[in-house]
């Protein structure tokens, strides 16, 4: 089962309004509904910001929830994927990398696309 979150959810004003967090919870609800977990089913959720709402939400929905700390390898893989995507849609790679290093990668993308 694969679920996604629209890119617009990560852009202003939606990101500031935490639209992405709500969409994550909706995705989690769909997953729980399809899985129909019993008391022995374990759920593991990464402790990243985007999934923070999911862990809180699932605590009331499922009996066994384990929060995993975000691992550097996974974070690096996600960041590399983001840079590749930005370059594919026309953002200069050096701009994306410079902004990613300063923690403002999304803003660099918005400035370039607008």
pTM: 0.58
In terms of residues, how long is the chain?
Answer: 114
Q: Which of 103, 96, 101 is nearest to 82 (CA)?
A: 96
Do 77 and 113 belong to one domain?
yes
Do 65 and 75 belong to one domain?
no
Domain that holds residue 81: 71-114
Do 5 and 52 belong to one domain?
yes
**DSSP at 98:** H
Do 42 and 81 belong to one domain?
no
d(CA 5, CA 11): 12
Reported as a pLDDT band with limits 50, 70 and 90, residue 11 is confident
Structure tokens given for 32: 């729980």
Give 18-72 pLDDT, tens digit per residue: 888 888 889 889 988 998 988 888 888 877 777 788 888 888 778 788 887 767 7
Do 48 and 79 belong to one domain?
no
Do 34 and 20 belong to one domain?
yes
Sort strands 43-46 and 65-68 into parallel, antiparallel or unpaired.
Answer: parallel
Q: How many structural domains compose the chain?
A: 2
């Amino acid at each position: 089962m694969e679920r996604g979150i629209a890119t617009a959810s990560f852009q202003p004003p939606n990101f500031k309004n935490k639209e992405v967090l709500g969409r994550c919870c909706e995705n989690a609800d769909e997953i729980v509904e399809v899985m129909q977990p019993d008391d022995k089913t374990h759920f593991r959720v990464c402790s990243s910001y985007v999934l923070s709402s999911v862990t809180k939400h699932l605590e009331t929905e499922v009996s066994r929830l384990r929060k995993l700390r975000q691992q550097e390898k996974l974070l690096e893989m996600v960041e590399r994927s983001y840079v590749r995507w930005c370059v594919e849609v026309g953002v200069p790679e050096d701009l994306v990398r410079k902004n990613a290093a300063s923690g403002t990668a999304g803003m660099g993308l918005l400035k370039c696309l607008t």
